[in-house]
């Protein structure tokens, strides 16, 4: 069961550290002044609009005697403070040319449980979450051994619970609806006076769960079989999104995250460095990181041990590894977790001399029995199994901007949404791309 949970470890780690520390990876960078943006579960009554619990519901097809393994993962904020030689608090110390800075580190925490589904049929099961606080002091000494300051690391205690329930789904298929609630029961700790900064001390940050069945299968929430679709639509997911995890075709592991993903998300094999931002381009971040000055790199190393590891990995990359980041073409069409927003400049981006018969600005394609081309009004009906975010566009209207043919003979229709705020996407030549069978002619 533990091995099954580990099948989702790489993607789960990317979720855990999404946005943890942003380029240029220094404490003094403005973009790192406001952190901890994803999956934050605060104590109830803290205010500020952030939730104190999350709910995941999904369908399962259990076999007799099936057992559920469950792993809650989150970051526990650890304050790293500095005191100078006189004991006075300070934000920065430099000893023998080495900078030391105050910072907030994230400690990975895991809570594991294993529950029999027969036990869940008798009623919900509660798994306690209890993480003690801690305080550590470490002297900062110079080369001669003299004490020049103190580094203090402090964490607050955390308290919460997982509530796991199972309910039968009417019908002949023997399916059941599994519910997992993650609840933060810690005291608010003076949130009204300390604001979000104090609340984060007792929060579950980047909270997500990994579930595994030893006998049985999870049903996809984004592309369920026809018989399961009505029951899947009745599932309630709040601040959590469940996707099938592990290799393509696997159904025994499920990952529920605060970030919308497609089923079976995978890290690109070319991405060998954890850059803490899965939505950015690895090549750009690697090249920018390598271009940091020596002083900037010293501060980044002092900011967080993970930043130091990142710099070591970037500096160890040879030209061949960097070249691999430039791009990859994979068989099987578009990647399920890729967002196809391509840039179309005002001037033609194709070579008219290559094929005079191709002109995306005037070419047409049949949608049903009607030809559509640039300027045609359409309604979007993305099919299941594509990008999960496309599902939010179902029923939205837009205008065709271009009809494109790729080298494999496939047709892609570029669409600008009618309710694009202030034409922000259209003004930059960025559109959504759909296959003809994902469109309907607007009435």
Q: Is residue 392 part of a domain?
A: yes
Where does the pLDDT of residue 423 fall: very low under 50, low under 70, confident under 90, or very high at 90 and above? low
The predicted model gives 428-440 an average pLDDT of 87
| CB of 241 closer than 8 Å to CB of 258 | yes
| Statement to judge: residues 57 and 138 lie in one domain | yes
Q: Which of 251, 285, 312 is the last residue of a domain?
A: 312
Provide the percentage of residues in the chain whose pLDDT is more than 70: 88
| Statement to judge: residues 258 and 373 lie in one domain | no
| Statement to judge: residues 33 and 100 lie in one domain | yes
pLDDT of residue 339: 36
pLDDT of residue 347: 38
The DSSP H or E segment spanning 308 is helix 305-316
Cα gap 7→165, rounded to integer Å:
24
The predicted model gives 269-292 an average pLDDT of 83
pLDDT at 277 over 90: no
Q: Is residue 323 part of a domain?
A: no
Cα gap 48→170, rounded to integer Å:
40
- With the CA atoms of 393, 395, 398 and 403 taken in that order, what torsion angle do they form, in degrees rounded to the nearest 10? 80
| Statement to judge: residues 267 and 375 lie in one domain | no
Cα gap 262→428, rounded to integer Å:
27
The DSSP H or E segment spanning 79 is strand 67-84
Q: Is residue 337 part of a domain?
A: no
Cα gap 76→111, rounded to integer Å:
12
The predicted model gives 423-438 an average pLDDT of 77
Q: Is residue 360 part of a domain?
A: no
Tokens read off for 122:
């008798």
Where does the pLDDT of residue 245 fall: very low under 50, low under 70, confident under 90, or very high at 90 and above? very high
pLDDT of residue 358: 73
The predicted model gives 297-309 an average pLDDT of 95
Strand ranges in 185-330 using DSSP code E only, listed in sequence order: 205-213, 216-218, 241-244, 253-257
User: Which pTM was predicted?
Assistant: 0.75
Q: Is residue 288 part of a domain?
A: yes
Tokens read off for 252:
């025994």
Where does the pLDDT of residue 341 fall: very low under 50, low under 70, confident under 90, or very high at 90 and above? very low
Position with higher pLDDT, 194 vs 378: 378
Q: Is residue 355 part of a domain?
A: no
Residue 375's contacts (CB-CB under 8 Å, 6 or more residues apart) are: 399, 400
| Statement to judge: residues 254 and 385 lie in one domain | no
Provide the percentage of residues in the chain whose pLDDT is more than 90: 65
Listed residue (442, 436, 434) closest to 364, CA to CA: 436
Tell me the pLDDT tens digit for each residue of 32-84.
888 998 899 999 988 778 999 999 999 999 999 999 999 999 999 999 999 99
Q: Could you give the 3-state DSSP secondary structure of residue 227?
A: helix
Specify the number of domains making up the chain. 2
Where does the pLDDT of residue 2 fall: very low under 50, low under 70, confident under 90, or very high at 90 and above? low
Domain span including residue 425: 365-441
Q: Could you give the 3-state DSSP secondary structure of residue 29?
A: coil
pLDDT at 354 over 70: no
Tell me the pLDDT tens digit for each residue of 116-160.
999 999 999 999 999 999 999 999 999 999 999 999 999 999 999
Tell me the pLDDT tens digit for each residue of 187-213.
886 544 458 888 999 999 999 999 999
Cα gap 10→264, rounded to integer Å:
12
| Statement to judge: residues 29 and 100 lie in one domain | yes
Average pLDDT taken over every residue of the chain: 87
| Statement to judge: residues 307 and 374 lie in one domain | no
| Statement to judge: residues 239 and 163 lie in one domain | yes
Q: Is residue 96 part of a domain?
A: yes
Tokens read off for 334:
């578009």
| Statement to judge: residues 186 and 272 lie in one domain | yes
Cα gap 195→56, rounded to integer Å:
28
Q: Say which CATH number the domain at 437 has.
A: 2.30.30
| CB of 415 closer than 8 Å to CB of 400 | yes
Tokens read off for 156:
């607050």
Cα gap 4→9, rounded to integer Å:
9
Where does the pLDDT of residue 427 fall: very low under 50, low under 70, confident under 90, or very high at 90 and above? low
Q: Could you give the 3-state DSSP secondary structure of residue 135?
A: strand
Q: Is residue 342 part of a domain?
A: no
| Statement to judge: residues 142 and 222 lie in one domain | yes
| Statement to judge: residues 146 and 277 lie in one domain | yes
Tokens read off for 58:
């999904």
The predicted model gives 222-226 an average pLDDT of 94
| Statement to judge: residues 268 and 385 lie in one domain | no
Q: Is 178 exposed, middle or buried, given 0-12, 13-18 or 19+ CB atoms closer than 10 A?
A: buried
């Amino acid at each position: 069961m533990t091995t099954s949970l580990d099948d989702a470890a790489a993607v789960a780690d990317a979720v855990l550290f999404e946005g943890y520390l942003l380029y240029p990876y220094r404490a003094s960078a403005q973009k790192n002044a406001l952190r901890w943006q994803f999956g934050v579960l605060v104590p109830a009554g803290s205010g500020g609009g952030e939730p104190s619990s999350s709910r995941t519901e999904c369908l399962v097809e259990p076999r007799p005697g099936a057992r559920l393994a469950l792993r809650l993962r989150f970051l526990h904020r650890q304050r790293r403070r500095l005191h100078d030689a006189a004991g006075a608090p300070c934000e920065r110390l430099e000893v023998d040319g080495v900078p030391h800075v105050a910072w907030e580190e994230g400690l990975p925490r895991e809570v594991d449980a294993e529950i029999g589904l027969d036990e869940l049929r008798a009623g919900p099961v509660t798994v306690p979450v209890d993480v003690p606080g801690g305080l550590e002091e470490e002297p900062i000494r110079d080369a001669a051994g003299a004490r020049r300051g103190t580094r203090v690391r402090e964490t607050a205690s955390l308290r919460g619970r997982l509530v796991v329930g199972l309910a039968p789904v009417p019908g002949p298929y023997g399916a059941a609806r599994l519910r997992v609630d993650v609840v933060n029961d810690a005291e608010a700790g003076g949130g009204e006076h300390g604001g979000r900064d104090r609340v984060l001390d007792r929060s579950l940050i980047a909270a997500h769960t990994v579930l595994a069945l030893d006998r049985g299968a999870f049903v996809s929430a984004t592309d369920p079989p026809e018989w399961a679709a009505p029951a899947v639509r009745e599932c309630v997911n709040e601040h959590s999104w469940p996707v099938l995890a592990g290799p393509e075709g696997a159904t025994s592991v499920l990952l529920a995250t605060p970030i919308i993903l497609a089923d079976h998300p995978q890290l690109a094999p070319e991405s060998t460095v954890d850059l803490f931002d899965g939505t950015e381009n690895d090549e750009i971040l690697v090249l920018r990181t390598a271009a940091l000055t020596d002083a900037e790199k010293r501060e980044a190393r002092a900011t967080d041990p993970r930043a130091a590891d990142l710099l070591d990995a970037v500096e160890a990359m040879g030209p061949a590894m960097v070249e691999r980041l430039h791009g990859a073409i994979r068989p099987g069409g578009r990647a399920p977790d890729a967002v196809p927003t391509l840039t179309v400049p005002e001037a033609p981006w194709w070579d008219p001399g290559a094929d005079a018969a191709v002109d995306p600005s005037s070419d047409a394609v049949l949608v049903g029995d009607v030809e559509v081309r640039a300027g045609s009004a359409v309604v979007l009906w993305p099919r299941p199994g594509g990008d999960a975010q496309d599902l939010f566009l179902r029923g939205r209207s837009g205008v065709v901007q271009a009809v494109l043919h790729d080298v494999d003979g496939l047709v892609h229709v570029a669409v600008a949404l009618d309710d694009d705020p202030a034409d922000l996407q259209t003004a930059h030549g960025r559109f959504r791309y759909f296959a003809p069978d994902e469109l309907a002619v607007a009435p």
